A = this chain, B = another copy of it.
Amino acid sequence: MTPSAPVPRMTRQRREILDALDTRDFRSAQAWHERLRSEGSTVGLATVYRGLQSLAEQGEVDAVVAESGETLYRRCEAGDEHHHHLRCRICGRAVEIDVPEFEAFAHRIASEHDYGDIRHTIELTGICPQCRAASER
C-alpha cells in the first residue's frame, strides 16, 4: 500500500555523520556540517540535512525546534523512547530529563477535549552554570 520507502544504504557520509554525533550537545545541521568539514570530511551540507532528518525519523537523534526557528539535533541516549530536555539557551548544552507525571497528564487533557493522535513537546531552557558565570563578568 504505502509507496514503500527506499532501502537505506550505509554510505561513507552517513557513517561520518553518525560518528560526529558524539557530544551531548544540540547543534544545528549547519553546525554539525562545519564540525564534519573541520575534521576533514567532505560531506555536503545538503547531505548532512538529509542524514540528520532520516536519523531523526528512525529515532536515532533528537530534534528540537529552537525559538529562532532553527532545528537542533543531537544523538539520542540509547534506545529510550521518550524524554525531554533542559537546554542552555547560550551554549546548547542539554540534560535529558523525564517527566513521567506529564505523560499521563497530556493524555488526560487531550481526551478531555476529544483531541486525537496526541503529541507533546516540553522544552525547558535556561542558562547553564558555565554560561552564567561567563556572562556575569
A residues contacting B by CB (< 8 A) are 65-67, 69-71, 86, 88-89, 95, 97, 99, 101-102, 105-106, 109-110, 113-129, 132
Query: What is the copy number of this chain in the assembly?
Result: 2
Instruction: Report Cα–Cα, A123/B121, bound state, in Å.
Output: 5
CB contacts (< 8 Å) of A66 on chain B: these are: 65
> Which partner residue on chain B sits nearest A65 by CB separation?
B65
Least CB distance, A122 to chain B, in whole angstroms:
5
Least CB distance, A65 to chain B, in whole angstroms:
5
Contact of A127 among B65, B70, B117, B127 (CB under 8 A): B117
Instruction: Report Cα–Cα, A73/B40, bound state, in Å.
Output: 43
Instruction: Report Cα–Cα, A118/B128, bound state, in Å.
Output: 10
CB contacts (< 8 Å) of A126 on chain B: these are: 110, 115-119
Instruction: Report Cα–Cα, A122/B101, bound state, in Å.
Output: 14
CB contacts (< 8 Å) of A123 on chain B: these are: 120-123
Least CB distance, A86 to chain B, in whole angstroms:
6
Most buried by B among A101, A120, A129: A120
> Which partner residue on chain B sits nearest A106 by CB separation?
B124
> Which partner residue on chain B sits nearest A93 by CB separation?
B115
> Which partner residue on chain B sits nearest A98 by CB separation?
B109
